[in-house]
Amino acid sequence: MHGQYRHLTEKPPVDMKETYRWLKSLNIPAATEGLVVAAQDQAFRTQYYERNILHRDVSPTCRMCSVGLETVDHIVAGCSALAPMDYTDRHNQVASIIHWGVCCHFGVPVESRWYQHHPDRLVDTDNITMMWDTAIPTARKINSNSPDICFKTKKTNTCLLIDISCPPDGNVARKQAEKLTNTATCGWR
């Protein structure tokens, strides 16, 4: 299984330099780095790994949902049993970091550490109005009218919609296309 992640990242539109930047910039312990790289290479002892790499007589099916093959990618982003809670929590944590960064950029008072930040549904200052996970009223019915973050800069009277996704590496391009399609369908640009 080693090298699978590298093969995935060599395909467009992946930026190799940005993909591996975390290895240089985070100063994480070697053991943690090894654990992350093993997960990226699908080298954890999942049912799929047991069956196809170790040649054990086990079902490669996921023990949680009993539907997909139990691979690292499936567990991290594809298991229907984990999706309702665990994936939503991860998504909201990522979106919260972006929200914190926008608040810091515009001088909105927030916690000093991003991991302590809990976004308010509405932030309204002299500079910006920002909404968190709030449906935007529209004249006609639109299915995708709840971006994760929407902020309006009052000085320029412009809005920016931010919609977060946390797909597995192999689905980044597909998820990006899906988000852009949703945006185009709404008439937002």
For residue 169, the model assigns a pLDDT of 67
List of the chain residues with pLDDT < 70: 1-4, 8, 11-13, 169-170, 182-189
For residue 143, the model assigns a pLDDT of 73
> In sequence order, which residues have a C-beta less than 8 Å from that of residue 80 and are 6 or more positions away?
65, 67, 68
Domain count, the chain: 2
Q: What DSSP line would sit under 4-20, residue for residue?
A: HHHHHHTSTT--HHHHT
- Same domain flag for 51 and 134: no
Query: Of 43, 77, 111, which residue is a domain's last?
Result: 77
- Same domain flag for 14 and 64: yes
For residue 182, the model assigns a pLDDT of 67
Query: Of 21, 52, 77, which residue is a domain's last?
Result: 77
- Same domain flag for 70 and 26: yes
- Same domain flag for 25 and 62: yes
Dihedral (Cα; 87, 5, 99, 158), 10-degree rounding: -120
- Same domain flag for 95 and 66: no
Per-residue model confidence as pLDDT tens digits over 82-109: 877 788 888 899 999 999 999 999 999 9
- Same domain flag for 89 and 182: yes
Query: Of 77, 108, 127, which residue is a domain's last?
Result: 77
- Same domain flag for 41 and 116: no
- Same domain flag for 66 and 94: no
The candidate with the shortest Cα–Cα distance to 77, out of 47, 45, 42, is 42
For residue 57, the model assigns a pLDDT of 96
- Same domain flag for 54 and 130: no
**Separation between Cα atoms, residue 139 and residue 128, nearest integer Å:** 24
For residue 95, the model assigns a pLDDT of 94
For residue 84, the model assigns a pLDDT of 77
- Same domain flag for 97 and 67: no
Rounded to 5 degrees, φ, ψ at 123 are -120, 125
What's the domain range around 64? 4-77
First to last CA, the chain: 41
- Same domain flag for 176 and 90: yes
- Same domain flag for 103 and 87: yes
